[in-house]
Amino acid sequence: MLQIKNLHVKLEEEDKQILKGVDLTVEAGKVHAIMGPNGSGKSTLSYVLSGKDGYEVTDGSATLEGVDLLEMEPEERAAAGLFLAFQYPVEIPGVGNMTFLRTAVNAQRKARGEEEISAADFLKLVRETAKTLKIDAEMLKRPVNVGFSGGEKKRNEILQMAMLAPKMCILDETDSGLDVDAMKLVADGVNALRNEGRGFLVITHYQRLLDHIKPDVVHIMANGRIVKTGGPELALEVENNGYADILSEVA
Amino acid sequence: MSATKLQPLKVEAAEARLAALTLPEGAGWATEARKAALSRVAAMGLPHRRDEYWKYTDPASLVAAEAPKAALFHNDEGPLFDAIDRVKIVFVDGVFDAAASDDLTLTGVEIERLSDACTKDIHWAKDIYGVLEARNAQSKVDRPLAALNTAFAADGVVIRATGKASKPINLIYLHKSESSDAMLHHLVRVEVGADLTLLETGPAAARFSKVMEVDVADGGAFHHVRAQGRDHERRAVTGTYARLGKESTFKSFTMTFNGVLTRNETLVELTGDDAVAHVAGACVGDGKDFHHDDTVFVTHDAVNCESRQVFKKVLRNGATGVFQAKILVQPGAQKTDGYQISQSLLLDEDSQFLAKPELEIYADDVACSHGSTSGAIDEEALFYLRSRGVPVAEATDLLTLSFLGEALEEIEDERLAQDMLDRLSGWLSRRR
Ligand SMILES: Nc1ncnc2c1ncn2[C@@H]1O[C@H](COP(=O)(O)OP(=O)(O)OP(=O)(O)O)[C@@H](O)[C@H]1O
Ligand SMILES: [Mg+2]
């Protein structure tokens, strides 16, 4: 599904190398988790994959189902099936959440040569999905993320993910800022989307989320590289001992 | 240049302009007001770019004896507000077109041509014509182009609402001659407790001067929605001069598309307690030839009044936007609630926004705020939208419309607002 090879990324504006050779493959149907100390490059990886400005790829490649991601515009990557749940979802005053969702769904359909969703079908789908995430109608009417609590913003990300039904989902610290119940809701939302055709890359600092979303593979990222890869037990090790052991082991 | 050197230049310009004009004949009681306006023009002279309130907008082409030509703009969109039941009053290059207009009858409203009203000996309009335009509410600001209009505008409508108007009146300004130089002068009186919606649409003329004097009596409500048409080379100077009575409401929204030069002046005086005045505008300009100027003065001269100014400008490819506005709170105008915001969205580095927001307050128990900003498209929001699959052009339009939202929200009638929004979306999407 997602294949990243030897990815090197520096900041466009300054001479600062952030990713220093990331190798990572997420197979369809699998959930991979990435953990790693603050500033190790996890968000940068997710931004580079989704096409944010300000980064320069100096080496390596990233493909989605064999198609070069890095050559595409952000909207083309989305239409190709990539989705990023932002660590810090953006507020867009003046654009209603509903308008935003519908514009996005239809833009992707159009890019794929599909028909636009009818207003009635769309409404039905949003309402149903929102309900499972305990997002009320009033929140749907408000401008995108404006005045949303931290947890509401994260649930809104999952709502978008469910509506867009991407092939490859990257979740950047979707658990941060969530209370225990909300974490369960979000995890249920993610689990409901798990299927054989879909890949997940879940960035998190805590084992707790991984209790709910059981990963197949866990990676540790440090200083711009994947330094260790293992099974779910790796997340437990981090939870119990922190990164010190792992980092000294690979140093 | 010193004031003593400037004044003779302005007077000279007035003399040159006046030489090409003649006072309308058979103007009845208006003759006196016209002559008075004429002598005001002669004394003030015509505006010069060294004048304080013409610093950002060069009035030369508005002042010139001959109007610059403006090519006609053709497009296949139907008339704005066409699906809305309204009384249509059509002017072609500034001349009333009876055949193209509806009957001037409307429940709750009296409508006359200015030239007809002037010949009636007793007429309410006598007390307003040239009076509101000349009132010295903000004395430092000369308005000679408005006085020129009062003196020479031969056509216009005189509207008096005595009850709730059963539908809106739409003044439709068609532009059919490349060299038209038009003047219109309208008078509006909203009587006690009456309610009127006035729509204005169209490019009007190659060069257009319009004055509208609006007198809203106690408890009256005046709603004004205007769209200034799309002819790229047109020029316009418009003035709206309003006086508000107790518990009255004045709400005005202007949408401007294109135009090589537009200067919209609005002066509102809140003279009765508990009155409300909202003045809003949005403009979209594309190219170095676009210059749009909103000059707004709101004077609070009564207790517990609310005023709100919301102006938004979208400028691209070197377009220029100007906003100069003042909230003046007179002594004794306690409990004033004044708000003023002006913002521009600059879609490139060549476009510019020039703003002069002012507050002048002589009362102590008031809440007034103002703000002026200018900025580019929010890159974070743009990326967020794109990451959800919205193409960059569509995402930019969406953010542009959301930027204009606060101004568009000032249109209370949802159908009018929707029509305006559709036009705006069309304008944006043709530029993708
Ligand atoms: N646009 C930028 N300008 C300057 N520094 C940046 C920029 N983007 C990333 N960095 C730096 O790159 C490094 C990696 O940041 P990144 O956000 O990817 O870390 P992270 O692993 O997601 O951290 P966290 O766990 O705290 O979210 C940090 O040192 C960060 O300060
Ligand atoms: Mg991060």
Q: Return residues 29-58 of B near A (CB < 8 Å).
A: none
In this prediction, residue B138 carries a pLDDT of 65
Nearest Cα residue to atom 4 of ligand 1: A11
pTM: 0.91
Cβ distance B330 to B299 under 8 Å? yes
Q: Estimate to the nearest angstrom the gap between the alpha carbon of B309 and the chain centroid.
A: 13
Q: Is A51 in the pocket of ligand 1 (CB under 6 A)?
A: no
What are the backbone angles phi and psi of residue A12, rounded to the nearest 5°? -70, -40
Tell me what the mean pLDDT of segment B403-418 comes to. 94
DSSP string, B26-79: S-TTHHHHHHHHHHHHHHH----TTSGGGSSS--HHHHSSSPPP------S---
B334 φψ region: left (φ > 0), alpha (ψ -120 to 50), beta (else): beta
In this prediction, residue A251 carries a pLDDT of 66
> Sign of torsion, CA B66 B90 B104 B415?
negative
* Kind of pairing between the strands at A67-68 and B181-190: unpaired
Token pair 């009320």 is found at A136
Token pair 């006046």 is found at B18
Nearest Cα residue to atom 29 of ligand 1: A39
Chain B partners within 8 Å of A107 (Cβ): 388-391, 394
The rounded Å distance from CA A44 to ligand 1 centre is: 6
Determine the atom of ligand 1 nearest the C-alpha atom of A205: 25
Query: Quick one: which ligand is closest to A221's CA?
Result: 1
Q: Return residues 355-384 of B near A (CB < 8 Å).
A: 378-381, 383-384
Per-residue pLDDT reduced to its tens digit, B281-308:
999 999 999 999 999 999 999 999 999 9
Determine the atom of ligand 1 nearest the C-alpha atom of A13: 3
Distance CA(B364)–CA(B374), nearest Å, equals 30
Q: Is A43 in the pocket of ligand 1 (CB under 6 A)?
A: yes
How many CB atoms within 10 Å of residue B401?
18
Q: Is A38 in the pocket of ligand 1 (CB under 6 A)?
A: yes
In this prediction, residue B139 carries a pLDDT of 65
Interface check for A6 against chain B (CB to CB < 8 A): the answer is: no
* Kind of pairing between the strands at A17-26 and A31-35: unpaired
Cβ distance B253 to B228 under 8 Å? no
Q: Which two tokens stand for residue A79?
A: 């239409």
Nearest partner of B285 among B239, B224, B346, B343, judged by Cα? B346
CB within 8 A of B363, min separation 6: which ones? B300, B329, B330, B331, B332, B333, B334, B336
In this prediction, residue A249 carries a pLDDT of 77
Tell me what the mean pLDDT of segment B65-87 comes to. 93
Instruction: Work out the mean pLDDT of chain B and round it to a whole number.
Output: 95
Residue A75: closest CA among chain B residues belongs to which residue? B389
SS3 assignment, position B364: coil
**What stretches in chain A show pLDDT beneath 50?**
none
DSSP, res B155: B
Per-residue pLDDT reduced to its tens digit, B88-123:
999 999 999 999 999 999 999 999 999 999 999 889
Looking at this predicted complex, what is its ipTM?
Answer: 0.95
What are the backbone angles phi and psi of residue B154, rounded to the nearest 5°? -95, -20
Q: Which two tokens stand for residue B354?
A: 């020039």
Domain boundaries, chain B: 3-377
> What per-residue string of b and e applies to A161-191 under the rule 16 or more CB within 10 Å gives b?
bbbbebbbbbbbbbbbbbeeebbebbbebbe
In this prediction, residue A176 carries a pLDDT of 87
Distance CA(A88)–CA(A174), nearest Å, equals 9
